[in-house]
Amino acid sequence: MFTNTVQPNIVSLFSSTSSEPLSLFSQQTDESLAADSFIHFLNDASSLPPPPPPAVLCSMPALDDRDESNIGYGLHQTVLHIQSPTLRMTFIRSPPITDPGDRDLGLKHKWLHLQVRNVGREWSFDIGIVDKSGRRGVVRCSTFQVHDVYDFPRSSIFDADHSVIYAHLLTSSYQKEPKLAISPVPNAQPVLHLPLSFPQPSSRPLTAWSTITLNLPSLIPHFSTLAGMHQLDDGEGGRHDINRPVTLSAINTPVPSGTYSHLSYIKIYATCRLRRIWLSDLLPDSQVPWEFELYGT
């Protein structure tokens, strides 16, 4: 999609306040769950307008131990609400799956950023990464991982500052290694499972929103390292069956290694609220355009 175009330092893939926010995405919902599987734009602070019947919005979780209404913690902006109890059936994806001619995003930036709100349900997103030799892999971050989380080096994840709370991605007081999964389906890509957790209410976060930041080149070595150690697992216990992988030997399966090339796709599953997705070559603590910042009341 962007392979043959000039790529500036910052590229915005999705902005909930733009005139055509889903122009680069396809979307899918679970038609068997009309009341609880939908994708809908609304004001984050008021949750209005409501989705068309029979869809019903889930209730927002308390932000901290003293908060019941979340008043003052939302954004007075339009955001995208993605909701479903079946994650694999409700998502947005770029590039659109309806356009086979645009197989890859082809974005070569090192940093991926997502502004997302935790709505108290399990959530996941996938990114496709490609190395310089064309080997492909999928990185799946999710809140329902059954494994203990993995602690990334400081070069991969940056902490929160005064205005943004970064999601506590893959960090904990105890660590175990991430898991690699290989599917028996021909030509299926290896999946690196990485647990994700949002700030706990006891930490009294300043906002209901988090900015997740991933250093994409730093993810490549984990594929070859885990494949070489034969540490394979489905990482999910089959709970949500998102193209559920099966544990197999990785001896004959090519996995990404060496130098990072580009991002091939991004897929955001239910359930969350989404404000912006962008890529950059700038460090996370660098100055970004003012419209990329999170603002509350």
pLDDT tens per residue across span 245-264: 444 444 567 899 999 999 99
| C-alpha span between 204 and 67 (Å, rounded) | 9
What pLDDT score was predicted for residue 245?
43
- CA separation (Å) from 188 to 216, 245, 249? 20, 9, 14
Q: Evaluate whether 79 touches 113 at the Cβ level (below 8 Å).
A: no
Convert the pLDDT of each residue in 51-98 to its tens digit: 999 999 999 887 665 655 555 578 889 999 999 998 889 999 999 987
Tokens, residue 125: 């997103």
Cis peptide before 271 (omega within 30 of 0): yes
Q: How far apart are the first and last CA of the chain?
A: 37
Q: Cβ atoms within 10 A of the Cβ of 93, count?
A: 18
- State yes or no: pLDDT of 44 exceeds 70: yes
Those residues with Cβ within 8 angstroms of residue 136's Cβ, 6 or more apart along the chain or in another chain: 128, 129, 130, 189, 256, 264
Question: Shortest CA distance to 250 belongs to which of 192, 174, 171, 172?
Answer: 192
Q: Are strands 191-197 and 136-142 parallel, antiparallel or unpaired?
A: parallel
Tokens, residue 80: 């995208």
Across the chain, mean pLDDT equals 79
Q: Evaluate whether 265 touches 249 at the Cβ level (below 8 Å).
A: no
What pLDDT score was predicted for residue 200?
73
Q: Which residue has the higher pLDDT, 189 or 240?
A: 189
Those residues with Cβ within 8 angstroms of residue 25's Cβ, 6 or more apart along the chain or in another chain: 14, 92, 93, 94, 96
- State yes or no: pLDDT of 296 exceeds 90: no
The pair phi, psi for residue 88, each rounded to 5°, is -65, -15
Convert the pLDDT of each residue in 183-235 to its tens digit: 777 788 999 998 888 877 666 667 788 899 999 999 999 998 888 775 555 44
Those residues with Cβ within 8 angstroms of residue 69's Cβ, 6 or more apart along the chain or in another chain: none
Those residues with Cβ within 8 angstroms of residue 20's Cβ, 6 or more apart along the chain or in another chain: none
Identify the three-state secondary structure at position 269: strand
Residue type, 159: D
Q: Whole-prediction pTM value? A: 0.83
Identify the three-state secondary structure at position 113: strand
